[in-house]
Chain A
Amino acid sequence: MAREQEEALLRITARYVAEEQAGQQPRLSDYLARYPQYASAIADFVAYYHAVEMYVPAGMDADTSLSAISREVLRRVQARVRQQPEQRGNLLPLANGRSFTLEELADRLNLTLDIMIQLEQRLIEPATIPYELCKRLAAALEQPVSVVQEYFQTDDQSRQAAENRAKPRLWVAEEQACYPGSTQRPGFRQVLKASLLISAEQAADWEAVLAREML
Chain B
Amino acid sequence: MVDLEVQGVVDSVCRVTDECERDEEVVKRRIGLAQIYGSLPRYASTAFWRTLQSADIPLEVLVRCFRSALAQGDVQGRDRIIEIIFLRIQTMNEYWAASVLKSLAVPADERYALMCDLCADLYESVIRALMNPERLFWEENFLHCLYFERKHVYRSLMMREGRWHDLGVKRSTRIPRGLLASLDQPVQQADNGIHSFDIEDEQAQRMLQTVESFDLLQLVLHLPDRLRAVVLLIFWEGRSEKDAARVLGISDRTVRNRIQAAKKLLRDLLATERECAFYG
A residues near B (Cβ < 8 Å) are: 3, 7, 10-11, 13-15, 17, 27-29, 32-33, 36, 39-53, 55-58, 60-67, 69-70, 72-74, 76-78, 80-82, 84, 86-90, 92-93, 99, 101-104, 113-114, 116-117, 121-123, 154, 173-174, 176, 196-197
Contacts and interface: CB of A to CB of B under 8 A. Distances in A.
Contacts of B247: 29, 32-33
B90 A67 contact: yes
Contacts of B87: 62-66
Nearest to B138: A10
B35 interface: yes
**Size class of the B contact interface (CB-based, 8 Å):** 35 or more
B27 A89 contact: no
* Interface residues of chain A: helix, strand, loop or mixed (majority): helix
Contact of A114 (B27, B90, B91, B246): B27
Given A10-B145, A173-B251, A56 B92 contact: yes
B67 A58 contact: no
A93 B74 CA distance: 12
Contacts of A50: 213-214, 217
A15 to B, nearest CB: 7
B144 A67 contact: no
B120 A58 contact: no
Given A29-B237, A44-B228, A61-B91, 15 more contacts: A3-B134, A10-B137, A32-B247, A33-B248, A40-B225, A45-B147, A66-B83, A70-B86, A74-B83, A77-B123, A84-B131, A92-B68, A102-B37, A174-B226, A176-B248
23 contacts: A10-B148, A15-B22, A27-B237, A29-B237, A33-B248, A42-B229, A52-B99, A52-B150, A53-B96, A60-B91, A73-B119, A81-B127, A89-B67, A89-B71, A90-B67, A90-B133, A92-B68, A93-B71, A101-B39, A103-B35, A104-B38, A116-B34, A176-B249
A57 B92 CA distance: 7
* Interface residues of chain B: helix, strand, loop or mixed (majority): helix
A39 B248 contact: yes
A51 B221 contact: yes
A61 B221 CA distance: 30
7 closest Cβ pairs, A-B complex: A89-B71, A101-B38, A93-B71, A51-B217, A43-B229, A40-B225, A176-B249
Interface string B127-158: 11001111111010101110110110010000
A80 B123 CA distance: 11
